[in-house]
């Protein structure tokens, strides 16, 4: 008896689901009507000038030029070690 009830409930649910989808699928009743004021030639001319002046390079993609220095790496390491000994460079979480 429970299988008959379950089958009846499934049949009613299937019919209800089909009735819920009876509306139009494209939602054309919500379409917005748009009327432009410019001609097609004006829009195409503007599009041509924008594409000619716009850069295709992503922002921030250039690498900065290498900085030239008169100090060699050994001198930089020596100065960093001295600053660390004097407590000028913070270490760990205390800094």
DSSP string, the chain: -HHHHHHHHHHHHHHHHHHHT-S-SS-GGGPPP---SS-HHHHHHHHHHHHHHS--SPTT-SPPPPPP-SS-HHHHHHHHHHHHHTT-S--GGG-
Banded pLDDT at 34 (limits 50, 70, 90): confident
Is residue 15 domain-resident? yes
Is residue 54 domain-resident? yes
Distance CA 10, CA 5 (A): 9
pLDDT, mean of residues 49-76: 80
Higher confidence at residue 71 or residue 60?
71
Is residue 92 domain-resident? no
Locus of tokens 């195409």: 44
- The CA-CA-CA angle for residues 11, 17, 21, to 5°, reads 145
Is residue 94 domain-resident? no
Banded pLDDT at 18 (limits 50, 70, 90): low
Is residue 60 domain-resident? yes
Which residue range forms the structural domain that includes residue 27? 3-86
pLDDT, mean of residues 19-41: 71
How many distinct structural domains can be found in the chain?
Answer: 1
Banded pLDDT at 75 (limits 50, 70, 90): very high
Q: Is the pTM of this model over 0.95?
A: no
């Amino acid at each position: 008896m429970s299988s008959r009830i379950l089958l009846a409930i499934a049949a009613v649910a299937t019919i209800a689901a089909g009735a819920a989808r009876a509306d139009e699928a494209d939602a054309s009743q919500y379409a917005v009507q748009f009327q432009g004021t410019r001609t097609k030639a004006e829009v195409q001319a503007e599009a041509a000038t924008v594409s000619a002046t716009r850069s295709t390079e992503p922002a921030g993609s250039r690498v900065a030029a290498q900085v030239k220095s008169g100090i060699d790496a050994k001198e930089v390491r020596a100065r960093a070690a001295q600053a660390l000994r004097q407590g000028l460079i913070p270490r760990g979480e205390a800094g």
